[in-house]
């Protein structure tokens, strides 16, 4: 008999489609030979993830299964599997539980983000908040955090502590972001501090833990941590651009969420700094509005287009991708190190 978790995951997008959609046909062709092995790795990780989702309370099980099958990029499990294989492993089973744990942490953070942002959609369908209501969304996020640490408890204390520190950083990043909402005087350094805490620290901790599990030297562990930190920032910078310049049908959500919610990103910070006179005042006035009409969102985009903000953010993303690739120097050469390099590069060009 098919379990509820198996049924829920049955319609997940295949890895081949995700890679092609997120990173383009060129990346798909370059990585094609590795995809069957990685697809098997991700299947094993998903099996561990599904094993901890059921609750004795069916509505909670329904909510968390819904949250975990929103068709995301599976970036963290993919990076963890690729990193473990890059270190010479022939099986990724030793990291499956931890990869599942980090994926659950990420999913829980998205649920809570949608609660904070009052988001109606996530990956082309109603958010957990919209589908199940506020109390269920909050509880579902909390439940996933608890289940994540249940999985992480299979590993040494140092890894569990690293997971905990990453979650603390994530919470601090949310507080920092909330304190700067609707404020375009937030500095570039403040923005990068938020991104590092909310996005990059989780990826960094996940990959450093892979190095620990593999018994790697301290220099390899730090290299993986540095790669994860840099590639996490590169991914977030691209997310910021896609929010203003992406394709809604591909993204599965409306554009301009950051404008709408007053979240200063490097795009809006650079645009504001490069505007002068009346356009600058208008940008500030519109950005500060708590309730924005569609034409006001479009005006913010139009004013952004009058500055070099888009190209500056693209250049910043390329800088962090290059930093990530350089960080991999201590790792042995091979197809999976090349894959990690390719994924860092693709972080700055993806469309999904």
Q: How confident is the model at residue 72 (pLDDT cuts 50, 70, 90)?
A: low
- Tokens 């650079």 locate to 270
- State pLDDT tens for residues 8-34: 554 566 666 666 665 556 666 666 678
Sign, CA torsion 277/278/281/286: negative
- State pLDDT tens for residues 32-59: 678 889 889 999 999 999 999 999 999 9
**Rounded to 5 degrees, what are φ and ψ at 126?**
-55, 140
Lowest mean pLDDT among 72-86, 98-112, 281-295, 304-318: 72-86
Which token pair is 2? 């098919």
Q: Is the pLDDT of residue 261 over 60?
A: yes
Contact 21, 352 (CB under 8 A): yes
- State pLDDT tens for residues 89-113: 999 999 999 999 999 999 999 999 9
pLDDT of residue 118: 86
Global confidence as pTM:
0.92
Give the residues across from 121 on adjacent strands.
126
**Residues 281-307: b if buried by 16+ CB within 10 A, e if exposed:** eebeebbeeeebeeebbebbbebbeeb
Q: How confident is the model at residue 218 (pLDDT cuts 50, 70, 90)?
A: very high
Average pLDDT over residues 187-205: 96
Q: Which domains does the chain have, with CATH numbers?
A: 14-346 (1.10.600.10)
């Amino acid at each position: 008999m098919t379990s509820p978790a198996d049924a829920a995951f049955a319609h997940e997008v295949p890895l081949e489609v995700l890679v092609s959609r997120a990173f383009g046909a060129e990346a798909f062709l370059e990585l094609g030979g590795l995809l069957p092995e990685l697809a098997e790795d991700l299947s094993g990780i998903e099996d561990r993830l599904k094993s901890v989702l059921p609750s004795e309370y069916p509505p909670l099980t329904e909510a968390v299964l819904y949250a975990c099958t929103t068709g995301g990029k599976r970036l963290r499990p993919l990076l963890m599997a690729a990193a473990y294989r890059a270190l010479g492993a022939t099986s990724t089973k030793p990291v499956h539980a931890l990869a599942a744990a980090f994926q659950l942490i990420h999913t829980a953070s998205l649920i809570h983000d949608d609660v904070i942002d009052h988001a109606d959609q996530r990956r082309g369908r109603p958010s957990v908040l919209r589908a199940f209501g506020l109390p269920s969304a909050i509880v579902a996020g909390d439940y996933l955090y608890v289940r994540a640490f249940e999985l992480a408890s299979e590993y040494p204390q140092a890894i569990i502590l690293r997971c905990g520190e990453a979650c603390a950083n994530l919470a601090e990043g949310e507080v920092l972001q909330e304190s700067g909402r609707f404020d375009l005087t937030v500095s570039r350094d403040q923005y990068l501090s938020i991104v590092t805490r909310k996005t990059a620290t989780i990826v960094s901790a996940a990959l450093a833990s892979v190095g620990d599990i593999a018994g790697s030297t301290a220099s390899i562990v730090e290299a993986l941590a540095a790669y994860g930190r840099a590639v996490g920032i590169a991914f977030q910078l691209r997310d910021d651009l896609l929010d203003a310049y992406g394709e809604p049908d591909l993204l599965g959500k409306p554009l301009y969420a950051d404008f709408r919610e007053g979240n200063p990103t490097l795009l809006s910070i650079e645009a504001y700094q490069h505007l002068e006179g009346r356009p600058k005042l208008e940008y500030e006035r519109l950005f500060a509005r708590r309730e924005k009409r569609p034409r006001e969102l479009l005006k913010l985009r139009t004013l952004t287009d009058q500055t070099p903000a888009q190209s500056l953010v693209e250049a910043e993303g390329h800088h962090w991708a290059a930093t990530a690739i350089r960080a991999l120097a201590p790792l042995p050469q091979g197809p999976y190190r090349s894959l990690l390099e390719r994924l860092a590069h693709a972080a700055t060009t993806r469309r999904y």
